[in-house]
C-alpha cells in the first residue's frame, strides 16, 4: 500500500494516515455546518469550542490507552531505568514508542469526557450536543480506517484473498496476503453513520439517546473485527483483546441503562417513529 504520498513535487512526503485524518476532520466539519442550520439549539461558537475540547480529549485518551496496552513494557522499562536511560534521549525515544500510538476507544472515551466537561462548565444542553455530534464518530472513523489500510497498520490475518503489503509501517505485515480488515471496518462505519444520521434527522430517538444507537452497533462490529486482526500490539487481557473488553463493557452498560430506564417507564424511541 501507499504509506506516504507526494503532492506537487514536495520534497517531504505526506503520511497517508495523516492525510485521511485531515479529510475525516474536514468531513465532520462539513457535516456539522450543514446540520447546524437545521437546529436552533446548537450554536456555531459553542460547536467550535466543543470540537477543540473533543480534539484534545481524543489525542490524550488515544495515547493513554495505547500506553496502557503496553503497561507491562513501561513498568519493565522503569524497573530497569539504568539500562534504558543510560542515554537519556534513547530512553525517551523508547518511551515515546510505547505511548506514541493511538487506540480508537481511548480517543472515544477521552473525547466524550472532554465534551462533557466543556458542556457542563458552559451549562450547554448536553443531550442536544451529544445527539448532534454522535454521527461524527463513525464518519471520522471511516476515514481513519482507510488511513490504517494505506499505512499498513491494524492489518488483518493472513488470508488467501486480500492485499499484500510491501511497505507497511509495521514490518511484520509485509510480504503476506492479508484480509483487508481496515477497509471492512471502514465499510461498517459508514453504514453506522448513515443509520445514525437517519435516526437523528427523523427524530427516531428521544433527546439525549443517540449515543445508545452507537453503543449497540459499533461495539458489535469491533468485537467481531478483533478476531480477524493480524497484529497483536493492541494488547490482550486473557482470551480477549483490550478493545474487545471495552466493546463488551460499552454494550453491557448501554443494555443495563436501557433496561433500568424501561423499569422506570422511560422511553428511548419516539412513539410516533420507529427506528
CA 114 from chain centre, in angstroms, equals 15
Taking residues 85-96, what's their average pLDDT? 66
pTM: 0.83
Q: What is the mean pLDDT of the chain?
A: 83
Q: Regarding predicted confidence, which is higher, 173 or 60?
A: 60
Give the tens place of pLDDT for each residue, 137-168: 999 999 999 988 888 888 888 888 888 887 77
pLDDT tier for residue 245 given thresholds of 50, 70 and 90: very high
Cβ atoms of 175 and 165 within 8 Å: the answer is: yes
Q: Residues 6 or more apart from 196 whose CB is under 8 A from it?
A: 134, 135, 138, 210, 213, 214
Residue 28 · residue 140 · CB < 8 Å? yes
Q: Grid coordinates 539504568 are at which residue?
A: 82
Lowest mean pLDDT segment, chosen from 4-13, 188-197, 198-207, 211-220 = 4-13
Tell which residue, 176, 141, 140, has the closest CA to residue 155: 176
Task: State percent of the chain over pLDDT 90.
Answer: 33
Instruction: Tell me the sheet residues that pair with 165.
Output: 174
Angle between helices 136-151 and 181-201 in degrees, nearest 10 = 170
Q: How far is CA 118 from the centre of its chain?
A: 20
Distance, in Å, from the CA atom of 173 to the CA atom of 82, rounded to the nearest integer, reads 33
Closest among 190, 147, 153, 195 to 171, alpha carbons compared: 153
Query: Given this model, what pLDDT does residue 274 score?
Result: 46
- Higher-pLDDT residue of 262 and 1 is 262
Amino acid at each position: 500500500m501507499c504509506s506516504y504520498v507526494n503532492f506537487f513535487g514536495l520534497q517531504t512526503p505526506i503520511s497517508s494516515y495523516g492525510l485521511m485524518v485531515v479529510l475525516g476532520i474536514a468531513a465532520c466539519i462539513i457535516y456539522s455546518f450543514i446540520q447546524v442550520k437545521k437546529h436552533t439549539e446548537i450554536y456555531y461558537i459553542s460547536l467550535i469550542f466543543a470540537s477543540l475540547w473533543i480534539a484534545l480529549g481524543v489525542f490524550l485518551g488515544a495515547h493513554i490507552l495505547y500506553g496502557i496496552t503496553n503497561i507491562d513494557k513501561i513498568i519493565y522499562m522503569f524497573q530497569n531505568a539504568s539500562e534504558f536511560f543510560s542515554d537519556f534521549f534513547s530512553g525517551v525515544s523508547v518511551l515515546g514508542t510505547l505511548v506514541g500510538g493511538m487506540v480508537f476507544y481511548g480517543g472515544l472515551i477521552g473525547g466524550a469526557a472532554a465534551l462533557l466537561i466543556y458542556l457542563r462548565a458552559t451549562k450547554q444542553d448536553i443531550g442536544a450536543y451529544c445527539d448532534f455530534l454522535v454521527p461524527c464518530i463513525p464518519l471520522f472513523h471511516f476515514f481513519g480506517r482507510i488511513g490504517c489500510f494505506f499505512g499498513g497498520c491494524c492489518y488483518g490475518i493472513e488470508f488467501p484473498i486480500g492485499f499484500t503489503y510491501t511497505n507497511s509501517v509495521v514490518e511484520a505485515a509485509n510480504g503476506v496476503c492479508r484480509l483487508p480488515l481496515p477497509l471492512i471496518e471502514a465499510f461498517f462505519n459508514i453504514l453506522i453513520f448513515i443509520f445514525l444520521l437517519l435516526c437523528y434527522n427523523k427524530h427516531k430517538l428521544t433527546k439525549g439517546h443517540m449515543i445508545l444507537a452507537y453503543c449497540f452497533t459499533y461495539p458489535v462490529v469491533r468485537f467481531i473485527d478483533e478476531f480477524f486482526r493480524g497484529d497483536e500490539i493492541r494488547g490482550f487481557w486473557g482470551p480477549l483483546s483490550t478493545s474487545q473488553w471495552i466493546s463488551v463493557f460499552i454494550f453491557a452498560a448501554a443494555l443495563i441503562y436501557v433496561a433500568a430506564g424501561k423499569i422506570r417507564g422511560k422511553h428511548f424511541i419516539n412513539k410516533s417513529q420507529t427506528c
